[in-house]
Amino acid sequence: MAANRRHVLAGMGATLAAGALMGRARAQEPGRKFGYAIVGLGSYATRQIMPRLKECEHARLVALVSGTPAKLEQYGAEYDIPATHRYSYADYDRIRDNPDIDAVYVILPNSMHAEYTIRAAQAGKHVMCEKPMAVSAAEAEAMIAACQQAGVKLMIGYRSHFEVHNLHAMELARSGVLGATRIITSEHGFNAQPNQWRLDKPLSGGGSLMDIGIYSLNAARYLAGEEPVEVSAMEFTDRSDPRFATVEDRINFQLRFPGGALASCVSSYTSNHNTYRVHGPDGWLRAEPATSYTDHQMWVHRDGKTEQVRLPTPAKNQFVAQLDHLPEAIMAGTEPRTSGTEGLRDMRIIEAIYQSAREGRAIPLTA
Ligand code: NAD
């Protein structure tokens, strides 16, 4: 990976920036929808993302990349993607020659995110990349640098930033109606099934924290509305459980924020959680499920009363809003709301969480 990264980074040039500018011009053509190539036709790509592309206002599915010819055939037929727009991993770099592809959406195992993002940038394409952005902060930095050098946008698939309950929670927590935020709890976990890449460290980069605990971390940060200055963590993994030969199971962590808020976060591969709470002197809010695909629920307690928050159904669900956001940012010439920098911040804190659990001490964080 490192040698490959050096290779692809070394190959970048000014022509890439020119290609990206053309991409921007094309995205602005009236009536033309922004074309995504999906890389990796696994569960999240085929069940959540590809069906939602049909609902987008600004985007559409134009190409597929997979190592499995049968999947290219099946989804190519289902989504009307011609053979000229179906690529193997070996063919991937040829996306450079396809003007219908504006961006690549990387939905591969975590340790492949950096390579496929950097190669997309090298081909002059904008990038949407799934969470976790990479398996280390160094890789995340290389991805940002590659996209900057190529003049393309990089966005991370943090879909909760486009979901109305989560947006409402951010607004409430930051508005002061609960008083200054004092305590945040954020819990995410599920019982991991055996025999999958998520449990294989070379592919996943780590266990529950990389996969699901990152939701606890990201939510604590967006609810606090500022960056933590210190982290401490504790891990427990039963190494006799064959699922956890190479990755961690539970790793809980605490974050201290400069404004005085403390966050307690759960990350688990052996228990089910999907909730957060924000407490201030004047009330609290609770979301459960908080960051699920659908069926979000939220309650607010103020003046001695607890009320369920009922929000109107938005015109765009979180997936559609996320997919439309990248072309919107390109057309506006702004950074995406969940840029590579947002992904890098999580990666740096994740590394500090692992370090804290390993060394049994709190780790200071720098911005
Ligand atoms: P998956 O196992 O269902 O799909 C992974 C895809 O990668 C498969 O098509 C597989 O064939 C392909 N692949 C290519 N090389 C591979 C290799 N060496 N080993 C294993 N698979 C290989 O996984 P998924 O659940 O779709 O997750 C893919 C990415 O999407 C991950 O980064 C994950 O964190 C992310 N994800 C995000 C969300 C979300 O809500 N944002 C939800 C699920 C997954």
| Cα–Cα distance list, 354 to 30, 207, 275, 342 (Å) | 48, 11, 22, 19
20: pLDDT strictly greater than 70: no
Strand-pair partners of 129: 106, 156
Q: What is the pLDDT of residues 117-169, one digit of tens each?
A: 999 999 999 999 999 999 999 999 999 999 999 999 999 999 999 999 999 99
180: pLDDT strictly greater than 70: yes
- Closest to 314 in 3D by CA, of 306, 329, 303, 324: 324
pLDDT (mean) for 81-104:
98
Packing angle of the helix pair 137-150, 113-122 (nearest 10 deg): 10
**Block residue for tokens 């979180």:** 318
Active site residues: 131, 215
Q: Which residues line ligand 1 (CB under 6 A)?
A: 40-45, 67, 107-110, 130-131, 157, 159, 197, 203, 211
Q: What is the pLDDT of residues 301-349, one digit of tens each?
A: 999 999 999 999 999 999 999 999 999 999 999 999 999 999 999 999 9
- Closest to 365 in 3D by CA, of 228, 240, 245: 228
Count of Cβ atoms closer than 10 Å to residue 299 Cβ? 14
8: pLDDT strictly greater than 70: no
pLDDT at residue 26, as a whole number: 63
In the chain, list all ranges with CATH 3.40.50.720. 2-156
4: pLDDT strictly greater than 60: no
102: pLDDT strictly greater than 50: yes
Q: Ligand 1 pocket: which of 38, 41, 44 to mutate (most atoms <8 Å of CB)?
A: 44
pLDDT at residue 238, as a whole number: 98
Q: How far is the CA of 110 from the centre of ligand 1 (A)?
A: 8
Q: How far is the CA of 279 from the centre of ligand 1 (A)?
A: 35
Ligand 1, atom 5, lies closest to the CA of 42
Count of Cβ atoms closer than 10 Å to residue 151 Cβ? 18
- Closest to 255 in 3D by CA, of 269, 267, 237: 267
Burial classification of residue 124, based on how many CB atoms lie within 10 Å of its CB (0-12 exposed, 13-18 middle, 19 or more buried): buried
Rounded Cα distance between 49 and 118, Å, is: 21
Is the domain spanning 2-156 CATH 3.30.460.80? The answer is no
- Closest to 261 in 3D by CA, of 239, 281, 236, 237: 281
Mean pLDDT value across the chain: 94
pLDDT at residue 175, as a whole number: 95
Is the domain spanning 162-320+347-364 CATH 3.30.950.10? The answer is no
Report whether the peptide linkage leading into residue 289 is cis, meaning its omega lies within 30 degrees of zero.
yes
pLDDT at residue 30, as a whole number: 75
In the chain, list all ranges with CATH 3.30.360.10. 162-320+347-364
pLDDT band at residue 29 using 50, 70 and 90 as cut-offs: confident
pLDDT (mean) for 195-212:
98
Rounded Cα distance between 75 and 23, Å, is: 25
270: pLDDT strictly greater than 80: yes
Residues 6 or more apart whose Cβ sits within 8 Å of residue 278:
169, 172, 173, 178, 181, 183, 184, 223, 284, 285
Q: How far is the CA of 114 from the centre of ligand 1 (A)?
A: 14
